[in-house]
């Protein structure tokens, strides 16, 4: 892992683990197959005004946490971001995707970038 700023990224010389590779595919397939469950404007939107669970939407980081951990831990932006970077095995260049940041972009750009990261 390499550290830049306060985030820690996978060293590009270190291969992805099988779990990281599969998680990338799983996140991409989810957001591609069911775009109504995908929204880059929040980690997770799943509770209605009564407190009941409803149709859940998640961003890339939220889906990574959900598939790997069974739930999303939206404690603060840094911890969610770092957890998802680690779970997906992102390098610095993968996170800063040629001019935009993966977790802070449009749904369309994030979907296209996840397709590439998943090798699809």
Domain count, the chain: 1
pLDDT of residue 119: 95
pLDDT of residue 52: 46
What pLDDT tens digit does each residue of the chain (120 aa) get?
Answer: 655 568 899 999 999 999 999 999 999 999 999 998 888 887 666 644 444 445 578 889 989 998 998 888 766 655 888 999 999 999 999 999 877 888 889 999 999 999 999 998
Q: DSSP strand E in 6-95: where?
A: 7-9, 44-47, 53-58
Q: Is residue 7 part of a domain?
A: no
Q: What separation, in Å, do the N-terminal and C-terminal C-alpha atoms of the chain show?
A: 25
pLDDT of residue 49: 46
Domain that holds residue 98: 16-118
pLDDT of residue 106: 92
Q: Is residue 5 part of a domain?
A: no
pLDDT of residue 75: 63
Q: Is residue 6 part of a domain?
A: no
Check if the beta carbon of residue 36 is closer than 8 Å to that of residue 55. Answer: yes
Q: Is residue 2 part of a domain?
A: no
Q: Is residue 55 part of a domain?
A: yes
Q: Is residue 83 part of a domain?
A: yes
pLDDT of residue 50: 47
């Amino acid at each position: 892992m390499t550290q830049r700023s306060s985030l820690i990224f996978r060293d590009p010389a270190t291969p992805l683990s099988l779990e990281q590779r599969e998680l990338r595919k799983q996140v991409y397939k989810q957001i591609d197959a069911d775009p109504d469950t995908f929204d880059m404007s929040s980690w997770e939107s799943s509770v209605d005004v009564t407190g009941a669970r409803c149709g859940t939407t998640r961003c890339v980081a939220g889906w990574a946490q959900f598939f790997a951990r069974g739930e999303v831990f939206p404690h603060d932006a840094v911890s969610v971001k770092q957890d998802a970077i680690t779970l997906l095995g992102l390098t610095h260049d993968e996170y800063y995707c040629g001019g935009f940041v993966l977790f802070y972009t449009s749904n369309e750009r994030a979907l296209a970038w996840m397709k590439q990261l998943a090798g699809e």
